[in-house]
Chain A
Amino acid sequence: MRLDILNRGYRPSVKLLFALIRLFSGHPVPDAAKLVFYRPDFYGALAKEFTHEAMRGTSDWSVGDRELMAAYVSKLNESAFCIGAHTATARRAYQDGPMVAAVLADLESAPVAEPLRATLRMLGRLTTEGKLSSEDMREVLSAGVTRQQVEDALAVCVAFNTTDRLADAFGFEVLSPEGFEAGAKYLLKRGYR
């Protein structure tokens, strides 16, 4: 990563933890995980809580839907690490790689339900334009999405607009396909805490 403190600035106990993870998983600790271990009182501890709640807390959106939202937002932000991580996690959650690939290639023609399509469209507009109108929201609501689902989707969007920026600013290393698959397995088992 672009700051030496994020590569080498960890307490001995954290360095030992990283070594154990590498030993037992066969993969280095992803930079996204390392970031939240650096001075966690400043960012990591609360960021993990918020992201976990957005991605795994109670919601009418499935875990797969929320991982797909994370992947879609990351795709629009062109954030290579997060695209890889959340495309792999969405694929594994849905057990449907072709559908995930279709959404990321062309949302409008992808085989997804209209409420999810309308929600992804809204998140895309917010991410790329930085604003939304009430008319944009009415379109989503009229597709059958509840107000609560919109709020839940906005939380996912916010979590990943933050993480995408940090991934690209700090220069997260893009993992191998096997590394992303291992990360996806972990995220589906343990979440973001």
Chain B
Amino acid sequence: MPDEDKKRALHRALVDRVLNGENRASAQHRARAFRNEGLSPALDALIGKVATRPTQVTEADFAAAKASGFSEDQLFELVICAAVGQSARLYEAGLAALAEATVNGEAG
């Protein structure tokens, strides 16, 4: 497998694992955390910050999510889903811009 395909294949495998594997948080919660949308208020504060302003995450954000019934293992998964999801959107945006810039094969 060429290296350029290997990087993207490994990334796809990571995304697939966090979204579709058998885990502690429900697949629905993981998908919502990945997309950063459709979350309950108690989760939305934490997950929204992970996706868009992670330096502002606080102990209180985790405490609020735990108080609403999420375990540490579930929050471990949901935080990772949020981080992987935001990064996956950046990857897609970058690759799409590259494809558009080289659509006629004029570069690279």
Contact = CB atoms under 8 A, between A and B. Distances in A.
Nearest to A164: B54
Interface in A124-155: 126-127, 130-138, 141-142, 146-148, 150-152, 154-155
B31 to A, nearest CB: 15
B23 interface: yes
Nearest to B5: A151
Given A126-B94, A146-B108, A165-B51, A57 B6 contact: yes
Given A46-B10, A77-B54, A132-B97, A169 B83 contact: yes
A170 B10 CA distance: 24
Contact of B11 (A59, A136, A152, A158): A158
Interface residues of B, number: 48
Size class of A's contact patch?
35 or more
A53 B98 CA distance: 20
B94 A154 contact: yes
Given A39-B76, A148-B4, A163-B83, 8 more contacts: A130-B90, A130-B93, A151-B7, A155-B8, A158-B94, A161-B86, A165-B50, A167-B54
Interface of A: 2-6, 9, 38-39, 41-43, 46-47, 49-50, 53-54, 57-59, 77-79, 122, 126-127, 130-138, 141-142, 146-148, 150-152, 154-155, 157-159, 161-171
13 contacts: A2-B57, A4-B72, A53-B6, A58-B3, A130-B89, A141-B108, A142-B107, A157-B91, A158-B87, A158-B88, A165-B82, A165-B87, A169-B49
